[in-house]
Each structure stands twice: as structure tokens, then as C-alpha cells.
Amino acid sequence: MKMFAAVAALALLSSTAIAQTAAPPSPDRVAELRDDALENDRLAWDLVEGLTTEIGPRLAGSEAEARARQWAVARLRGLGFSNVRVETFGVPYWERGIERAEILSPYPQPLVLTALGNSGATPAAGIEAEVVGYDSMEAFQAAPAEEVRGKIVFVNHAMQATQDGSHYGPFGAARREGPTLASRRGAAAILVRSIGTDHHRNPHTGVQSFAEGVRPIPAAALSLPDAEQLQRVLRRAAALRQPVRLRLVLTPRQLGTRQSGNVIAEVPGSDPAAGTILIGGHLDSWDLGTGAFDNAAGVAITTAAAHRVMSAGQPRRTIRVVLFGSEEIGVFGGADYFRRHRGDGDVVLVGESDFGADRVWRVNFNLAPGNEALQRRIAAALAPLGIAAGRQPAGGGADLGAWARAGIAAVDLSQDGTRYFDFHHTPDDTLDKVDPAQLRQNVAAWTAMLAEAANAPERIEPAPAR
């Protein structure tokens, strides 16, 4: 036993020495892989097209999401990935019903809207009530409760398109927090201007969760043109000192717990001690569109890049691709995966694609100071694609952010979000919005990053916790 232990220790020391002295992957080889993806990748488009065409909308916990998992398992095995499997978990299942609204007075007309996730329901015949409007979430928060009691609250705002999508956080508060606040103040229902940047009559859905102990009330998002129309009606009615009355019909249902799951696949590395790179996107989508931008594209980009690295030869590190379930309704897949596997100790780097399919324009890092050379090599490999190094620490994304917050190294490949919120959570999130050339640029960027990181000779160290 002592001799066996000594031999094992010597082998470990030898492999460590090799890793410490090995050269990083050739810049020419990384460039070759990157440039071939940029010009010739077809796999990502095939995956986006297949998922959106063969499965369509994939609401968390639905039968369609279950079919998407079966589809993903078959495709990943067919592509030659190893250890393909599904880890299931339960999620609350909410189903959309009838959605209808109309102004009754002083200017009768219909409005286009959609229920927010977890919305409460009206009676089948609907409700009729006066509308009280606010031009921002801050104005609504400052309003006294008696001003909204028994009324339909309308919260307007003015989200603008930005390359980094930074308006989504603050303006999304109307959707995330508005329904709970309205219920606590006794409102009959709440309407918010869709959290989007388009001007089509396509309302944007999205999750919101009523706080514990708060009674669910009907909650919906108006399309942007309809929100602006209601705002004009309110202003004109106020000048006439007339109330605006509205009829609202929303009939969603909560149907208990259903099964969801994460699909997992691997490219095994040659050196298990070097750790695992964890990447992916989310498999589910909202039910209004076919989820091409959000997030069939992320599934396709990360899968195609991992497949390219695998096809080039066995990498040093294992690359694990996780296609997460039930992200849209509350990051259930990411939370389940972290809970199950945070103690495994093998994950050394994370990265996620979940911001559409337009070109990557920036890379952010959260690496340890000892990995500065690796950071420089990745940045250099990405620069020919027009990708600049940012100055913000990488966050890891919605499903993988918990790993970054726990101190695992992360790389964010940031996509151009200028038009992302035109389609986000709408019926317009369909395959025709995906630009094949920009999709290939994403695959090229991920291929370059993975080729460098998966074959880096140095140890990828724990990063500063977020």
C-alpha cells in the first residue's frame, strides 16, 4: 500500500509539473478554430432552427419543455457528447388564459396586453374599475394607499434601448415589484407598460412573484403603443375632470407542481485534476413566441462552440454544457444545479449565453490575479472579432451567477443588446430575428475563449467572490 501511494503521489507530481511547464495553445491554432467558426459554422443555426421549429414555445413545466429535454438529449448524443443526462426537479406551473382589456369611458376602445407570470385572475366575466396612472414606479411608490384602493393601477415608464441592456434592471421594477405593491394597497389590478423598447402591438410578458402573504391580483403588461394610448387618454380625461374606466379579463391558473429539468453533457478532459469549465444557456422560453433569441440562441452558441473544441482534439479540461430548465420563471434550473453540485469541487470557470444572438462586443472577466496571463490570451484571441475587454467583473449570468458569487472564475461574453428588448418575452421572439452571420460571430468568440481556457496549462484559481 505504501509503494502504491508513493507511485500515485509521483504520478500526481509529474502531471502537475507537466501542467506547469506546458505551453498554452498555439495562437495560430486558436485563431484557426475561431476563424473557421466565423466563416463556416452551421451547427448553431441548425440547433436554433431545430429547437424553435420542432418544439416551439417551451413554457417552464409544460409538456413542450419536456419534449425540449428529449430533443436536446438526442441532439447532444448524436453530436458525440459524453455523459448526456437529465436532472429533474419540480416547479410551480402557471398557465395563461383569456387576456382582454377595453377602455369603457370616456373613449371606448380595446387595448392589447398579456398577463405577467403568476398573475392572479379576474372572474370569468372580468372586472370593471377606474384607472389611476403613474409615470414611473417611483411615483407609484410615493402614492398614498387610499388613492389606489379598489382601482386598476397603471404604471408607465420610458425604458430606452442600450447596448448593454442596463435599463432592464431599474425599469423592470414595475413588473417585478409593482404587483405586490398594488395588492398591498388594495388595488383591484395592475397594468404596466411592457418592459421593452419596440413600438409594435406586441406585449412583453415576464415573471413576477407576489411576496409571501400577499393576495395575488390580476397583473398584465400593455404593449408600448397601448400604454402610450392609455397615458394620453388619462391626460385628456383629467383635463375634462372625467374618470377613465376599464374592463379587464384575465383568467390564468396555478396548476400545482410539474416536472422540469436540466440537460447536461460533457466533453471529457484529459486531466481531471485541472477541473471543469461550466457553460450553457436555458432551454425553456415564454409561451408567446418560439424563444429563438431567448434562449434557443444561447443553447446553440455554447453547444456549437463546445462541439468545435471537442472536434479539434481532447481538451485538457472537461467542458460541461448545461441546458437549464425553468430559468424564465425564477432561475429554478440554475438554483437546482448549484444546490446539487456546488460541493463537487471540480468547477473552475463558468460562462453563460443568455442575451440573444447579436454579435459579442465586449468581454468581462472575473479571474484571480494569478490568471492575468490567461486573461490576456483570451482577450487577444477575441480582439480580431471586434470584441473589447471591459472593466466590470464578470457576473456569470442568471443560471451560473451563483458560482461567480461563490468565488468561481467567470467570463462574460456580452452580446449587443440594442434590439434585444424589441423581442424579449414577446410573440416576436422567432427564428427570423436571428442573423446567421452574427450567430456565427458568437460561436467564434465562444470557441476562442473555450480553446484558450480549456487548454490553459496554468491552474485556474478561485476568483474574488462577487
Residue 150 carries which side chain, given as an amino acid letter? Answer: G
Q: Give domain limits for the chain.
A: 24-94+257-454, 98-251
Q: How far is CA 260 from CA 65, 167, 190, 310, in A?
A: 7, 30, 29, 28
Sheet-wide strand order for 245-250: 109-111, 99-105, 245-250, 127-134, 152-155, 189-193, 219-222, 113-115
> What is the structure's pLDDT at 4?
35
Q: Do the first three CATH levels of 24-94+257-454 and 98-251 match, i.e. the same topology?
A: no
DSSP string for 227-269: HHHHHHHHHHHHHTT---EEEEEE--EEEEEEEEEEEEEEE--
User: Is 70 exceeded by the pLDDT of residue 16?
Assistant: no
What was the pLDDT predicted at 402?
Answer: 98
% of residues, the chain, pLDDT over 90: 93
Average pLDDT, integer, range 358-369: 98
pLDDT score recorded for residue 6: 40
- Give me the sign of the Cα torsion angle 268, 269, 271, 277: negative
Mean of pLDDT values over 231-260: 98
pLDDT at 252: 98
Q: Which pLDDT tens digit goes with each residue over 415-441?
A: 999 999 999 999 999 999 999 999 999
The CATH number that domain 24-94+257-454 falls under is 3.40.630.10
pLDDT in tens, 160-189: 999 999 999 999 999 999 999 999 999 999
Q: Using 50, 70 and 90 to split pLDDT, how confident is the model at 208?
A: very high
> At 105, which helix (H) or strand (E)?
strand 99-105
Using one digit for the tens of pLDDT, what is the confidence trace for 51-61? Answer: 999 999 999 99
pLDDT mean across residues, the chain: 95
Q: Are strands 253-267 and 82-95 parallel, antiparallel or unpaired?
A: antiparallel
286-314 residue pLDDT tens:
999 999 999 999 999 999 999 999 999 99
Residue-level pLDDT at 464: 82
pLDDT of residue 449 exceeding 50, the answer is yes
Q: What is the CA radius of gyration of the chain?
A: 24
Question: Is residue 382 scored above 70 in pLDDT?
Answer: yes
The CA-atom distances, in angstroms, between 450 and each of 55, 167, 265, 372, 377 are 29, 30, 15, 16, 11
- List, in order, residues 6 or more apart from 462 with CB less than 8 Å away: 368, 407, 408, 409
Q: Could you read off the pLDDT of 69-83 as tens digits, one per residue?
A: 999 999 999 999 999
Per-residue pLDDT, 25: 87
| Ramachandran bin of 275, using left for φ above 0, alpha for ψ from -120 to 50, beta for the remaining angles | left
The helix/strand/coil state of 304 is helix
98-251: CATH topology is Glucose Oxidase; domain 1 (3.50.30)
> What is the structure's pLDDT at 24?
86
For 325-379, give the DSSP string.
SS-TTT-HHHHHHHHHHTTS--EEEEEE--S-SSPEEEEEEE--GGGHHHHHHHH
- pLDDT-derived band at 19 (thresholds 50, 70, 90) equals very low
Quote the pLDDT of residue 21: 47
Mean pLDDT of 207-226: 98
| Predicted local distance difference test score (pLDDT) of residue 203 | 98
- Given the C-alpha cell 475587454, which residue does it identify? 389
Please name the amino acid found at residue 209.
S
In whole angstroms, what is the distance from residue 301 CA to residue 294 CA?
Answer: 12
Give the N- to C-terminal CA distance of the chain in Å, as an integer. Answer: 43
**346-351: average pLDDT:** 98
Region 147-164 average pLDDT = 95
Q: Which of 17-31, 215-229, 271-285 is the least confident region?
A: 17-31
pLDDT at 1 over 60: no
